[in-house]
Amino acid sequence: MEQVQRTWDDWATETFVGDNYYYYKTKWEHQIPERSFSSWNWAAFFFPFYWLIYRKMYLYSFFFFLASIIGYILPIGLILHGLAGAYANYMYYKTCNTTIRIASQYSNEDALSYLKKKGGTNLLGVILTIAAIVIVTVTIFMGIILLADTSDTTSAPNENTYNVISVNKEIIATAPKTYEQETDNSNDLYLYDGIKDSELIFNIYYKDDYQDTVNEQYFMDNMIDFFNTEYTLSPVNGKELLTLDHQAPQTLYKAAIGTNILYFYFTCEKFDKYYVLTTFTIRPSDWDRVSKEIADTISSVRPNDTI
């Protein structure tokens, strides 16, 4: 009776293991299921995650995946591989014995089906896992490159733009080359387009100089009152304002200057140390044509971190 049981166990073990059965038979000789043991497995040492998937020990592979994540944070990667190499055969032995014990309850035909389903190898699973890892890695890598390119696009000038800096070097902006920076002692950054007869002006107000109740609208209202002393400003209705990359109040007025009509655009952005008030003047006929590049210029305003 003992010989029959042993013969069935040998058949079941060979059916479960499949490839390299005699290698594992040698490793498992004289082992007791309830007692742990160590024997070296080079494949499990070098490729523990993939070896576990290949041998259909998916739960173990999941636990090793979690442990390997910790291994990237703590210097225990080599230790994990060493443990996998030393105890892989034992884990496989335990899995094999558990499967055979369950299969022994079935008829020979059902036992054969169960052993082949739970045992053997899964090369396709390894290939799909590697493919998934490659796809995820490439996707993350391409995403990083795309973000870097986007960052470079928003911060660095292209052939049609250039970087301008305020008089006291507090802020930097990326402006169209049609707008030339000119010296103007009454403004922190003054840009002028002679063809369009258009002005783009930036003024800086330090937060420490004002009470906490002051906000962006306060500076816009003061500038509007200033222009009203010289011109009569009236709101422009039904005209789309600029699309900025930040939330900031903005408004559009118009005024008659001699026989001409000009648009007066105001917006103000709050930074860590100061407020930046933007005043932009343009002929109404040019507003739609330049709104995109002016919005990009205003959105590009940033603190000068070099000071």
Region of 93 (left: φ > 0; alpha: ψ -120 to 50; beta: rest) is alpha
- pTM of the complete model: 0.51
Q: Is residue 126 part of a domain?
A: no
Q: Is residue 151 part of a domain?
A: no
CA distance 179 to 157: 14
- If asked whether residues 181 and 296 sit together in one domain, one would say yes
The pLDDT score that the predictor gives to residue 5 is 47
> Which tens digits make up the pLDDT trace of 88-142?
999 999 999 999 999 999 998 899 999 999 999 999 999 999 999 999 989 998 8
Q: Is residue 96 part of a domain?
A: yes
What's the pLDDT band for 47 if we cut at 50, 70, 90? Answer: very high
CA distance 93 to 32: 10
> By residue range, what is the domain housing residue 9?
2-121
- If asked whether residues 165 and 212 sit together in one domain, one would say yes
- If asked whether residues 88 and 8 sit together in one domain, one would say yes
Q: Is residue 75 part of a domain?
A: yes
> Which tens digits make up the pLDDT trace of 183-207?
888 999 999 999 999 999 999 999 9
Please state the domain count of the chain: 2
CA distance 51 to 81: 12
- If asked whether residues 181 and 292 sit together in one domain, one would say yes
Mean pLDDT across 145-158: 62
- If asked whether residues 112 and 168 sit together in one domain, one would say no
- If asked whether residues 286 and 228 sit together in one domain, one would say yes
- If asked whether residues 223 and 165 sit together in one domain, one would say yes
- If asked whether residues 117 and 205 sit together in one domain, one would say no
- If asked whether residues 189 and 112 sit together in one domain, one would say no
- If asked whether residues 172 and 89 sit together in one domain, one would say no
CA distance 242 to 248: 11
